[in-house]
């Protein structure tokens, strides 16, 4: 892995889904360079399932970043109209080599105006919401458009990170990491049609708040 160094920064915010972050973190922490968890302050941050995570840098003192990654989770809904966070994302995206997201983190990239005309993916239940930001919803675990890489829901963050390592350090390096973390998904269950239907039936109510937040953020973006 000699010869390439990547500084990676993960946005850390309340009610993030920790696996959106810790999955790709596990991969990126195994390549030369620095990995930071960047939050508004250095105060502990609580994930959507109660895991407390400590930031390593803030919006104002982080090092230059080669890779910016925005994880998802319920907390992204609150950030879609958060001017401080959106300004941070836009600022870092101007100089980062790669601008990336996992799950609903893509909606935050959209709210920052970074997905206009670009192919992108996100969690399957929120996939259609990408259109509000001028993105082109595209099916896939990992979708690349230029220097923007979006991953699907939650565990797809590992896929995107391995892909990125392969792109930057070569396939062998990515395969070594994949083997080291024994990433070989073999789900014990495949959801039945009944389970899928029950999730889809509950989605409109469950996602009503997110859709409203997306619509409001898209309106703000259109007014810029």
For the annotated catalytic residues, the residue numbers are 103
**Hunting for tokens 């995570």 — which residue is that?**
53
> Are the CB atoms for 109 and 115 separated by under 8 Å?
yes
């Amino acid at each position: 892995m000699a010869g390439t160094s990547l500084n990676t920064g993960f946005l850390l915010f309340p009610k993030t889904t920790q696996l959106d972050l810790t999955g790709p973190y596990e991969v990126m922490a195994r390549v030369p360079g620095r990995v930071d968890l960047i939050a508004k302050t250095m105060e502990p941050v609580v994930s959507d399932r109660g895991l407390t995570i400590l930031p390593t840098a803030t919006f104002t003192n982080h090092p230059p970043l080669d890779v910016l990654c925005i994880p998802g989770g319920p907390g992204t809904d609150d950030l879609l109209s958060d001017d401080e966070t959106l300004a941070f994302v836009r600022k870092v995206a101007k100089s980062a080599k790669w601008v990336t997201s996992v799950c609903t983190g893509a909606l935050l990239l959209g709210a920052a105006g970074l997905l206009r005309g670009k192919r992108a993916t996100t969690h399957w239940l929120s996939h259609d919401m990408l259109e509000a930001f001028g993105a082109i919803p595209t099916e896939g675990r990992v979708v690349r458009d230029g220097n923007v890489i979006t991953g699907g829901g939650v565990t797809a963050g590992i896929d995107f990170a391995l892909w990125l390592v392969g792109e930057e350090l070569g396939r062998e390096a990515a395969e070594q990491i994949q083997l080291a973390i024994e990433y070989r998904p073999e789900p014990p269950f495949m959801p039945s049609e009944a389970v899928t239907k029950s999730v889809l039936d509950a989605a409109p109510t469950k996602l009503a708040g997110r859709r409203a937040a997306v619509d409001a953020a898209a309106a703000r973006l259109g007014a810029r």
